[in-house]
Structure formats: C-alpha cells, structure tokens
Amino acid sequence: MNRAAMCAGTFDPITMGHLDVIERASRIFPRVVIAVATNPGKNLLFSLEERIELVRESTTHLNGIEVDAFDGLLVDFAESKEVRVIVRGMRAFSDFEYEFQMALTNRKLKPQIETLFLMPKQDYSYVSSSNVREVARLGGDTSLFVPPPVQEALRKRFG
C-alpha cells in the first residue's frame, strides 16, 4: 500500500470545514481519496452524483485528489483503494466519543489501517452540513460555510 489517505463522509454538502481537513490531508499525503458515502438511510438534500460532483468541483485546486462513492465498511473500501490511513475531522469535543469508538472498531476490523484525527481551523469548528442546509433552506447567506460550487447548488435547490 502506498502513501495515501482517505477522507470519508456523506458530504451533503461539503463544507469549508470538510475542505479544510481535506487540504490539510493533501499536504501530508500525496494521494487523498475522498470517499462519498451512499447513505441510503439518510434523508439527503443532494443525490450521490451531485455530492460527488460538488466535492470534485470544490477540490480542483488540490493535487492528488480522487473522489469515489462507497457503500459498506469504510475500512474495506480503504483496503480496496490501497489506503492505509483514514483521516477524520474532529470539530469539537462532542465528536470525540463517536469518532473514538469508530476508530477502535476499524482498528479491530483492519489493524493495518490507521486513523488520523485532524482538527479544522477554529473558524470552521462549528460548521456542519445540517446547519448549512438549514441556513440555505431559510434563505440565509452560506458563503462563509461552503465553497462557491456548493453555494450555487444551494441557491438552485432553494431558489
């Protein structure tokens, strides 16, 4: 396996916090796979194809980025992509318990795959996709929270 990392999420939509973590990962690893979860159980704003395209459009300024959909266990997908490091963003202490449990579970399933936690810039530590969707739905300005391609997609979606 090569020096590659994976950033995974639903990205509904990708936020500046997600992008900050992806940018940080791309400075550490020459190859970063962005794994967009299908998540059929969630009530999603954007389709899988739209989310993949928004992630691609939002990361064009970065080198070594691959964007792909996945379904199933993240560690299995990481292994299939020859990735040994899963990068997880941790916004606040409230994320810790869930992320810690997930990292330990993944370690048990695939001990050869490591989890690396990165904190986004403080400016983005409170930003979540669900908050962005709510602001957009209510007609608020999302420019501080999402990259331009997502701003445009939200404008189109909510008029």
Q: Which residues are catalytic?
A: 18, 42, 91, 129
- The end-to-end CA distance of the chain, in Å, is 45
**Do residues 36 and 11 touch, judged by C-beta distance below 8 A?**
yes
Token pair in block for residue 89: 């963003």
CA distance 155 to 10: 20
Q: Give phi and psi for 91, each to the nearest 5.
A: -80, -45
